[in-house]
Amino acid sequence: MKVTVIGSGYVGLVTALCFAEIGHQVVAVESNSRKLRQLQRGNATIHERFVPELLKRHLLKGIRFTSSIADGMQSPDAVFVCVGTPSAPNGASDLSGVFDAIRDIASHLRKYTVIVEKSTVAVGTGDKIQTCLLQKGGADPSLFSVACNPEFLREGSAVNDFLEPDRIVLGTDDSRARDVLRELYRPLIDGDYAATSRSFKPLHRSSKVVIETSVKSAELIKHASNAFLATRISFINAIANIAEATGADIDQVAAGVGADPRIGSQFLSPGIGFGGSCFPKDVDELRRIAERNGFCFDLLAEVQRINAGQRQRFLDKLKSAIGALAGRKFAVLGLSFKGATDDVRCSPALAIVKRLLEEGALVSAYDPAAIDNARHELLSSRIEFASSSYAAISGADALLILTDWPDFACLDLHRVRKLLASPIVVDGRNLYRPDEMHGAGLHYISIGRAAVSATTDAEPARITRIATEAIDLPAVNG
């Protein structure tokens, strides 16, 4: 089948390449000239596993890149709108890019085409797209259907998530559009792709659930999914704060809670809070959707409050261990919002680094992929970007672990101890066991666990004290 994908960001590029991988002819439309040139040359524009391989395999065979929507509208069976929907100044999602694309699509419709929302949009946007096509675009209503096919792609494993999905949501309001989408995804639904795939080896998840819904239900599924996952993260962070105050161990608590099959263990890892381009924006947008429809979703307000509080708690831990931050040098490992990506949008790591710089600290930072993106966000003479983890650590007054890259979980701790000017590690991702740090002679502060020192389990007093201080514990009901 013929597929056009508008937008070649994280979602658009992965979507376009994966449709080519399962046998479709794809035209990817990208308006950014610099990015377009890179893609046309076969250079990946995002840090994402398997994207370079898929780009090399399918460029000018199953996929081509263009700046022209008119070029992309040469008889496609479906057009996937994958443009960004950033937060507007009032906090709502900015859909101007979506509707710019829709107006361009409308002026080039020549045959029946399914126009698919892939970007995350508020419930009811499909109706507005329909109106835009009819009133402003002047499109013949027999030439199109509007559908919603939300993405569930995790940065760092997006290709696997597309090719081995745990569910495929097809939001349509007519059978003709549903048939087109089912045919597009048939290689994944029937398992034909996994049986014939070549060098690329996906994860082979055991089940592929196809969920057929209305357009509005599909739109709400995406926001509800992200808000629920964000709620889990804030919940376990609140429990971690209680664990610190009471002497419990959050690892043991999370294991006990997650063993319940009704709950499960995913998204029960405490840390410095969620970030990225989806969770913060989608939680805020769902609150606004609820308010517009007469419901005050206070639960999500608390999710946001706890999330913001985790960054302040991290800084409070650091200050309790080392005192004033001004003039101190800190090694920072991790700038992206999570490991395995170069995405720094709404990164809690970046937020903490900015606070350090505001308070007069010096920062030596390292990230395996996100340094170039972080440079545009961290414009200060007090930060330097190191070439490796150990280069960042050398001479620092404390090591701060802010992103869960695998490389950061296997450092030579004895080497770390020798390189640090002060033997203090504040781990915002709980990548190490406290006894490992104790054995390496390091004072170790983590999330939801008692702090340990290299001398005794009770010294130095100012480090151990923070494990039991109740620093603005979030309210927990029930």
Above 50 in pLDDT, residue 111? yes
Between CA 398 and CA 396 the distance in angstroms is 5
Mapped onto helix, strand or coil, the DSSP state of residue 295 is: coil
Higher pLDDT, 139 or 313: 313
Span 276-291, pLDDT tens digits: 999 999 999 999 999 9
Indicate the number of domains in the chain. 2
Take residue 63 and report the two structure tokens written for it. Answer: 């996929």
Residues 197 and 254 in one domain: no
Tokens 């080896």 found at: 201
C-alpha 132/C-alpha 360 separation (Å) is 51
Residue 178 phi/psi, 5° resolution? Answer: -60, -40
**Is 292 found in the same domain as 202?**
no
* Length, in residues, of the chain: 478
Cis peptide bond upstream of 270, omega within 30: no
Residue 184: which pLDDT band, with cuts at 50, 70 and 90?
very high
Does pLDDT of 460 surpass 70?
Answer: no
Is the same domain home to 271 and 130? no
Residue-range definition of the domain harbouring residue 332: 248-478
155-175 pLDDT, tens digit each: 999 999 999 999 999 999 999
Residue type, 339: G
Confidence grade of residue 466 (pLDDT, cut at 50, 70, 90) = very low
Residue 100 has pLDDT above 70, yes or no: yes
Tell which of 191, 213, 235 closes a domain: 213
Q: 274 and 235 in contact (C-beta within 8 Å)?
A: no
> What number is the average pLDDT over the span 387-404?
98
Query: Residue 39 belongs to a domain with what CATH number?
Result: 3.40.50.720
What is the strand order of the sheet 383-385 is part of?
A: 383-385, 362-366, 329-333, 398-401, 424-427, 443-445
Within a domain: 237: no
Active site residues: 278
- With 80 as the cut, is the pLDDT of residue 474 above it? no
- Are residues 158 and 289 part of one domain? no
For residues 87 and 341, the model is more confident at 341
Q: What does DSSP say about strands 144-148 and 113-117: parallel, antiparallel, or unpaired?
A: parallel
Compute the average pLDDT of residues 465-475: 39
Indicate whether 259 and 321 sit together in one domain: yes
Residue 102 lies in a domain: yes
**Sign of the alpha-carbon dihedral angle for 94, 95, 98, 101:** negative
Give the dihedral sign, CA 63/65/69/74: negative
Q: Is residue 75 in some structural domain?
A: yes
Q: Judge if 60 and 158 occupy the same domain.
A: yes
The DSSP letter of residue 475 is P
Residue 230 lies in a domain: no
Lowest-confidence segment of 90-99, 331-340, 403-412 by average pLDDT: 90-99
Which tokens hold the place of 305?
């409050």
Looking at the chain, the number of H-run helices and the number of E-run strands are 20, 14
Same domain, 274 and 406: yes
